[in-house]
């Protein structure tokens, strides 16, 4: 059994998206005609005309310029500046330099021939303190205006996330962030500003329970449930604001995007395993989706959290409740459902012993397992299990009345230290997961678009730059942050151009061409890396040596214990010569 912590980084994320432009029985394979005997079977065919293809990113992970042009600090700026919070103490201070390379990245989107680009707006970049009445940052507003205009000029539809984790730090310090109900009004003000400025053309568990993500608070499950409760009510208010004020004029859509894995019962014929699998999906996807589509938290979630709270001797459940009025206000506040999905787990019943301090994780009473035969191309939390995606989509169809769905995040990362442009594993992942969407469409699921995650290698939250999700590799050691296409770029372009998988022969040919292309790109990257290495020698090592020599010349000779200035400098240079920067510099003296 392997309980993977990082998987939960991708779960329970509720974001408000402004688009400018079966129950458990379904887990039994016999319900699906193409996978009746083999869930891994491949289905050749094409997507409906008008299906949308895209790629995504987020502000904090790519923009950099964390304190430039009037931007205020976010909770992630502060969190990453604390030592020990991120792998190798890396930060998103410069990230991919996306703030300065918008034109370059739009050119990459044109090369991919995508229909849309999913990006997020940094709240503190346009409202430095997060409070509209205090300050607006016109340079930040202009940046997103220019970005959206450039996308539209290139026939790329912007899909904009209003919140992708980068809460203004001032709101966290003054009010406790999402723990405070006042966030509903502050976010609504921010959202309405976005609708006003951009709409005419176009976070809970890790941050507030375990403290592994910004703002780094360890408030227990009460903190997670409370933050989620406020986020859901905030989303509803924003939807009503758009519906009442902006929809008639702008004719856009506002929905939510939720990221969830799929939980498959270890034994689909075991009622206890099926019940555990239902709890898995309801505690993850249902936590946010159920209030939006059905008016309240899932019954199983209310029952289990209530039971555990009573065992702790609490007078009320740790899971907050909605009033009758709030249930009515929240239900139906989504024009579409954005779905992020990465992997699957087998699930079975597990009874946790009584704990005085229960957590969100122990409230489920379940254990997660993985099949060792599942490919795990990168981090161990992200196993490639394409058939789980189809089951998740069918679950949504049955559970929530077959809503309009846009896949907003789907991709796989690698953790290798050296550049891997021939990303065979990503090609297989994309091929398998996109094919399961095609099967789900034939099941009647209302999926209208797909977004590959992500355009670029980027800052991956508490993993820093050690995980790479990008279709394009970035050499972060090079001050210019050049982008290099991986093999998956060529392969994804072929899927987009063909609008699916026309036939076996053609699809196999895509693979061969993609791998041939990446080999040539690898040679180009190797040459550029050598130049970057030599620039480091020129710009860092040599100036350091000259400075050292100058400083030593200024030191009185008697303080050098009988050494001459020049011989001391020579000794220093000789030591450096035996380091990794082995260049011909011993003649300097």
DSSP conformation letters of 119-131: EE--HHHHSTTS-
Residues 573 and 445 in one domain: no
Q: Residue 5: its pLDDT value, please?
A: 35
Residues 451 and 539 in one domain: no
- Exactly one of 409, 414, 436, 460 is catalytic; which is it? 409
Q: Tell me if 478 is assigned to some domain.
A: no
Residues 438 and 563 in one domain: no
Q: Which of 424, 450, 470 is the C-terminal boundary of a domain?
A: 470
Residues 395 and 537 in one domain: no
Q: Tell me if 220 is assigned to some domain.
A: yes
Q: Residue 362: its pLDDT value, please?
A: 87
Q: Which of 425, 446, 470 is the C-terminal boundary of a domain?
A: 470
| Helix, strand, coil tally for the chain in percent (to 5) | 50, 10, 40
Distance, in Å, from the CA atom of 512 to the CA atom of 533, rounded to the nearest integer, reads 32
Residues 175 and 295 in one domain: yes
Strands, sheet with 366-369, edge to edge from the N-terminal-most edge strand: 262-265, 344-349, 366-369
Q: What is the pTM of this model?
A: 0.84
Helix (H, G, I), strand (E, B) or coil at 436: helix
Residues 43 and 192 in one domain: yes
Residues 440 and 548 in one domain: no
Q: Tell me if 136 is assigned to some domain.
A: yes
What does the block give as tokens for 501? 């998988």
Residues 464 and 348 in one domain: yes
Domain containing 130 equals: 6-246+268-470
Q: Tell me if 423 is assigned to some domain.
A: yes
Distance, in Å, from the CA atom of 349 to the CA atom of 304, rounded to the nearest integer, reads 13
Residues 6+ away with beta carbon under 8 Å from 494 = 510, 513, 514
Residues 398 and 545 in one domain: no
Q: Which of 453, 470, 487 is the C-terminal boundary of a domain?
A: 470
Asked whether the CA dihedral 467, 468, 473, 474 is positive or negative, the reply is negative
Residues 546 and 422 in one domain: no
Q: Tell me if 186 is assigned to some domain.
A: yes
Instruction: Give how many domains the chain has, as a whole number.
Output: 2
Q: Residue 179: its pLDDT value, please?
A: 95
Residues 366 and 241 in one domain: yes
Distance, in Å, from the CA atom of 524 to the CA atom of 475, rounded to the nearest integer, reads 12
Q: Tell me if 568 is assigned to some domain.
A: yes
Residues 188 and 309 in one domain: yes
The pLDDT tens digits of the residues spanning 401-435 come to 999 999 999 999 987 667 789 999 999 999 999 99
Place of tokens 């670029």: 456
Q: Tell me if 427 is assigned to some domain.
A: yes
Q: Tell me if 14 is assigned to some domain.
A: yes
Asked whether the CA dihedral 65, 137, 150, 404 is positive or negative, the reply is positive
Low-confidence ranges of the chain (pLDDT < 70): 1-40, 202-214, 216-221, 354-357, 416-417, 530-589
Q: Residue 202: its pLDDT value, please?
A: 62
409 is catalytic: yes
């Amino acid at each position: 059994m392997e309980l993977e912590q990082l998987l939960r980084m991708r779960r329970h994320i509720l974001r408000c998206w402004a688009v400018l432009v079966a129950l458990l029985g379904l887990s039994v394979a016999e319900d699906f005609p193409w996978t009746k005997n083999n869930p891994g079977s491949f289905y050749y065919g094409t997507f409906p005309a008008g299906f949308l293809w895209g790629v995504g990113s987020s502000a904090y992970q790519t923009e950099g310029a964390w304190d430039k042009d009037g931007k205020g600090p976010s909770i992630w700026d502060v969190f990453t500046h604390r030592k020990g919070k991120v792998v190798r103490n890396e930060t998103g201070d410069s990230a991919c330099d996306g703030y300065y390379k918008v034109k370059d990245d739009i050119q990459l989107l044109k090369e991919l021939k995508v229909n849309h680009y999913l990006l997020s707006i940094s709240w503190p970049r346009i409202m430095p303190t997060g409070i509209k009445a205090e300050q607006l940052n016109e340079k930040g507003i202009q940046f997103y205006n220019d970005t959206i205009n450039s996308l539209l000029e290139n026939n790329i539809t912007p899909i904009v996330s209003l919140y992708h984790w980068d809460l203004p730090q001032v709101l966290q310090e003054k009010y406790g962030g999402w723990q405070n109900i006042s966030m509903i009004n502050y976010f609504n003000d921010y959202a309405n500003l976005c609708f006003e400025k951009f709409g005419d053309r176009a976070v809970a568990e890790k941050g507030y329970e375990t403290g592994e993500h910004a703002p780094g608070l360890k408030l227990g499950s009460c903190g997670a449930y409370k933050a989620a409760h406020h986020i859901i009510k905030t989303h509803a208010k924003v939807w009503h604001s758009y519906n009442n004020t902006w929809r008639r004029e702008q004719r856009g859509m506002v929905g939510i995007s939720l990221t969830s894995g799929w939980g498959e019962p270890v034994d689909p014929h075991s009622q206890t395993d099926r019940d555990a699998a239902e709890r898995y999906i309801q505690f993850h996807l249902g936590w946010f989706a159920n209030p939006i589509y059905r008016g309240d938290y899932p019954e199983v979630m209310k029952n289990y959290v209530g039971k555990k709270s009573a065992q702790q001797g609490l007078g009320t459940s740790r899971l907050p409740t909605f009033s009758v009025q709030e249930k009515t206000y929240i239900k139906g506040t989504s024009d579409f459902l954005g779905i992020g999905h990465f992997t699957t787990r087998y699930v079975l019943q597990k009874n946790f012993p009584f704990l005085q301090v229960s957590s969100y994780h122990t409230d489920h009473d379940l254990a997660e397992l993985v099949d060792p035969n599942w490919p795990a191309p990168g981090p161990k939390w992200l196993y490639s299990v394409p058939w789980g995606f189809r089951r998740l989509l069918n679950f949504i169809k049955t559970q929530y009345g077959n809503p309009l769905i846009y896949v907003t995040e789907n991709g796989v990362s690698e953790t290798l230290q050296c550049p891997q442009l021939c990303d065979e594993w990503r090609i297989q992942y994309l091929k398998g997961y996109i094919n399961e969407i095609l099967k789900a469409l034939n099941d009647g699921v209302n999926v209208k678009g797909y977004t590959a995650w992500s355009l670029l290698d980027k800052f991956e939250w508490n993993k820093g730059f050690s995980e790479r999700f990008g279709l394009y590799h970035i050499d972060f050691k090079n001050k210019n942050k050049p982008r290099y296409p991986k093999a998956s770029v060529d392969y994804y372009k072929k899927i987009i151009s063909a609008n699916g998988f026309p036939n076996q022969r053609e699809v196999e040919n895509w693979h061969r061409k993609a791998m041939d292309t990446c080999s040539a790109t690898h040679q180009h990257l190797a040459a550029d890396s050598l130049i970057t290495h030599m620039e480091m020698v020129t710009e860092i090592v040599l100036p350091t040596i000259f400075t050292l020599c100058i400083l030593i010349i200024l030191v009185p000779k008697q303080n050098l214990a009988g050494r001459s200035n020049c011989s001391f400098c020579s000794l220093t240079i000789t030591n450096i010569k035996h380091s990794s920067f082995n260049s011909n510099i011993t003649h300097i003296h």
